[in-house]
Structure 1
Amino acid sequence: MKQDLLKDIIYRRIRDMIVVGTLPMGMKISETVLANRLNATKAPIRDAIKRLQSEGLVQVKPKSGTFVFHFTAEEFHELLEFRYHIESQGLKLSFQKNPKQLIQEMCFILDKMELCINSGSTFEYLNLDNEYHQIMISLCDNRYFQESYDLISARMATVRNHLGNSESHMLRSFVQHKEIIESLKNNDIEHAQHQLLCHILPEHGAFWNMKNIST
């Protein structure tokens, strides 16, 4: 039991280090360095790496080593396309099944986002950004949407922390988040989905800087 608990702790710590950027995208991972840093043996480190590899957060390259995942611009665009279609349909289902709760929870997060902008709390804002988009899936009452979204949520959170830690990003995403909510309040799900498309996909003016995604 204690060994399993230790494995979970080590896994969560390394996962958090990747998501927040302490272990940057594309960085080579050393089991020895991680073991020393986390005051652990290599066994739980290796177990954590296997779990992280299954989530797509770690890439093991034969004869080269283990690396934090990274994307080419084309691969990232594919991820954003997948994300948009999952979120768009999840938003539609959530609005059909739980409209009042959906709007209330999104507004609650938006209020906290505004406080973060005013106080310059970038990291907290990005965490709230994750929550905002997760609500579109969690309220759709469809486990297959949730399972599909789980495949990319950690990688999206990592990329968001990598690309979104600027004032211009925060301000633009805040406006877009607000516009999505206003569309829902007006009972216009199609316009809300269009706003989501503009928010996510780069060819429609999203805030992602594709030039900075490839390592």
Structure 2
Amino acid sequence: MKSFKLDAPKSLSQRVLLRLRQAIIDGEFALGAPISEEMVAQSFGVSRTPVREALNQLQGQGLVVIRPQVGSFVFTPSAADISALCSFRIIIEPRAAELAYHHDRAATIAAMEQAVADMKEALAGKDNVAYGRADSALHDAFFAHCNNHYLVESYQLVSGRVAALRTTLSSPIDVRTPASFDEHRRLLRWFERGDLPAFETLLTQHISNSAKTYARALKVE
């Protein structure tokens, strides 16, 4: 198993949680893969207790499924899960973006510009993980600057799963074709111009396309 490096200072269980969460999002653990408490504890150099605590919290975030007497596994979405997840995003992301535009347009644009630049670099290097992280950063910017903690808390319910699906299912396709990158650049352009209706139309289409990509990759249509 790959060795993990922990950053300080945080509580031990929180450090394990953050590193394990990122490992799932970055695809170091495949969707549906088993997660051995013992192996993770050995890799981290900790007891099984903080690992168990971290896995329980990750189950609350929807990234892990714990089956009593069986073990812990990375989540695997069904067709219904994908549909519900993307429908949820279509509802809340445009609203968060609209609020971000009115609350802190400049900072939101700056974050989106950086994300697009990082996507371009990842595209050139065919780096799935870097592309997925940059993709997530662009969408996260709407919530980071929307100034509504209820929207932020709602988004946090699904953000980890969305990020993991990006890295493992859509990013390998995105780094081979300019389609996704072009859509993100157009989202930035509409946002900069303040054409929020056009922005919302494209964002809705973009999320719907993602749902189809996830379903095809998992063969759950």
TM-score w.r.t. length of structure 1: 0.88
Ranges of 4+ aligned residues in structure 1 off by more than 6 Å: none
The answer (yes or no) to whether the contact 1:73–1:211 under 8 Å persists in 2 is no
| Greater shift in the superposed pair: 96-105 or 43-52 | 96-105
The residue identity in structure 2 corresponding to 1:134 is D
The residue identity in structure 1 corresponding to 2:81 is E
TM-fit CA distance, 1:198: 0.9
Pick the aligned partner of 2:139 from 127, 133, 143.
133
Pick the aligned partner of 1:142 from 144, 148, 154.
148
Match of 1:46 in 2: 52
TM-fit CA distance, 1:119: 2.9
Residue aligned with 1:83, SS = helix
| Greater shift in the superposed pair: 145-154 or 182-191 | 182-191
1:22-171 equivalences in 2 (<5 Å): 22-168=28-174, 171=178
Distance 2:206 2:211 in 1: 5
1:150-169 Cα offsets, whole Å, 9 max, x none, are: 11111111111111232545
Distance 2:163 2:198 in 1: 25
Distance 1:101 1:196 in 2: 19
The residue identity in structure 2 corresponding to 1:29 is I
Distance 1:111 1:65 in 2: 40
Distance 2:160 2:211 in 1: 20
Question: How big is the alpha-carbon RMSD for the aligned residues of Structure 1 and Structure 2?
Answer: 2.3
Match of 1:199 in 2: 206
Pick the aligned partner of 1:187 from 179, 188, 194.
194
Q: How many residues align?
A: 212
TM-score w.r.t. length of structure 2: 0.86
Q: 1:89 to 1:179 in 2, by over 3 A?
A: same
Match of 1:173 in 2: 180
Q: 1:111 to 1:153 in 2, by over 3 A?
A: same
Q: 1:39 to 1:139 in 2, by over 3 A?
A: same
TM-fit CA distance, 1:206: 6.3
Distance 2:57 2:219 in 1: 24
The answer (yes or no) to whether the contact 2:82–2:214 under 8 Å persists in 1 is no
Specify every segment of 5 or more residues in structure 2 that has no aligned partner in the other structure, as ranges.
Answer: 1-7
TM-fit CA distance, 1:62: 3.3
Specify every segment of 5 or more residues in structure 1 that has no aligned partner in the other structure, as ranges.
Answer: none
The residue identity in structure 2 corresponding to 1:196 is L
Residue aligned with 2:11, SS = helix
